[in-house]
Each structure stands twice: as structure tokens, then as C-alpha cells.
Amino acid sequence: MKSIKKYILIIAAALLTVTLSACKNVTAEEAINKSAEISKNIKNTEFKSFTTSEYITGKDPRKKEATVTGTIINEPFSIHASVEAKADKPTSFELYIQGKALYEKVGSEPWKKDLYSSYLFERYQNISKTEKRMEFYKKVAKDFKLVKENDTYVLTYSGSGDQFSDFATSLVEASARQLNPYSVKDVEFKSVNIKYVISKDFTPISNEVTMEVVSKIIPKAKTLKITQKITYSNVNKVNSIDLPEEVKNAKGKFEVQL
């Protein structure tokens, strides 16, 4: 009997240890570091990036909006993206990049095929890259606050100062440069708020940033408010990006059509 009780106590202690280990609270720093590692290994994903910039001081506020939606495969690199931009005049275009070929359609114009352009390839390849953003998150990980919401971890951060200079360029990249790079250059970061949502296995779900900046070099500069939200879906579940027939049959930009 004593032997049985002994084994029961050993089993109970083991179960308690496992339970306590499973219930261990994840810290913000742990969540950020693990998510950074997961992000490095994202091979493909569907995404949506919504960016706005608006002057919130002065008599003539100007607002720009840009939405980039699409699918990206990192190796070998291919992408399908649709861009809708609203400023003084709304514009839209769609593109595919596969191999060394780029196919693009502006507004209602027909599809056109273009040759390799390192500028365009890098511009769109950077949409899904998160290294620069995650490196900043890791630097300030201890200052993030973490809250569990259903099956997700919600990480939030607020701050100000010059430490956001490099981080701000990641917003430009994620907008496919629809956000003017000069809007975050030589500026004072008056406030920056970050909301980063990840799954329980630390896969990115959404990344939202709101910041207010003012130029350091322009006298009496207006305050610019920038907001960007990126959402990810079907992470590492995209098998291929197929070209529609009308895209495959696109004429080259300098090809004579008879």
C-alpha cells in the first residue's frame, strides 16, 4: 500500500509540474523574441497594408491613403499585389513579379510586360520583410505590455524620441513606398504607438503603428500623423501564384502591336 501511495504521489507531482509549466505566463520580451525568430522563417503569406498620412495642424490639412493587398512568396521571389492610392487624384495599379519578368496594369489600361528592374523588385520584396521592424521591437521588448486576448497575444508600446529613425523606414517599405520616404526623415517623433498581435505560436497576425512627427529643418512645420496597419493571413500556406491568361499574353512595353 505504501508503495502504491508513493507512486501516486510521484505521478501527481509530475502532473503538477507539467501543469504549472504550461500555465507559465509568457513575458512581452519572450513573445517578441520568439516572434522575431518565426518572422525570419516566413516563406510565403497573404498580406494587406493600409497606410494613411495626414497633416493635423494648420488650416489646410492634406490626407493620403494607400492600400496594398496581395500574396508573396519569398523563395524564389514572386508576388501579386494590388495598390489603391487616394490623394489629390485616386490611382490604382496591379502587378505580378515572377522570375525576371514584371507584369503591370495601371487603372483600366491593358496589362504590360516589363523586364527586370532591381528598384521595383526590391521595392515590392520589402513589403513582407520584417527584420528592421523586429530588431527595433527586440531592443525595446522590455517596455512592451502584453495582454492575452482569446487565442492571441496583444503587445503594445508607446514612446517618443530619435530612436525611431530607422524603425520609421520600415513603414515606407511596407507601404511599397506609397508613403513618402522624406516624411520620416529629419523629423522629431512626438509620439509613437505600436500594437502588435501574434498567435499563441508567435506567428504575426497584425502590426499597427501610429506616429506623429514634425520636421526639424522646416520652420513652423505642420505635424504629420502617420498610421499603418499590416495584416497577415495564410502564413506559410501559399503554394503558388498563378498568372491569369491575360497577364501571360501581355505585350512588352516597347513591343509594337500590329
Residue 254: predicted pLDDT = 53
Answer yes or no: is 6 within a domain: no
Answer yes or no: is 25 within a domain: no
Residue 214: predicted pLDDT = 93
78: domain CATH number is 2.50.20.20
Residue 186 to residue 49: CA distance in whole angstroms: 24
SS3 180: coil
Contact 183, 224 (CB under 8 A): yes
Answer yes or no: is 3 within a domain: no
Residue 2: predicted pLDDT = 52
- In the chain, what is the greatest distance between 2 CA atoms, to the nearest angstrom? 96
Residue 139: predicted pLDDT = 94
Residue 115: predicted pLDDT = 77
Torsion angle, CA of 176/180/181/184, rounded to 10 degrees? -120
Residue 22: predicted pLDDT = 44
What range does the domain containing 220 cover? 30-251
Answer yes or no: is 11 within a domain: no
Answer yes or no: is 84 within a domain: yes
Q: How many domains does the chain have?
A: 1
Answer yes or no: is 129 within a domain: yes
Residue 42: predicted pLDDT = 92
Answer yes or no: is 35 within a domain: yes
Residues of the chain with pLDDT under 70: 1-24, 60, 253-258
Q: What is the pTM of this model?
A: 0.84
Residues paired with residue 228 on neighbouring β-strands, in sequence order? 51, 209
Q: Integer distance in angstroms from the first to the last C-alpha of the chain?
A: 96
Contact 211, 234 (CB under 8 A): no
Residue 105 to residue 173: CA distance in whole angstroms: 21
Contact 257, 251 (CB under 8 A): yes
C-alpha cell at 235: 502564413
Answer yes or no: is 258 within a domain: no
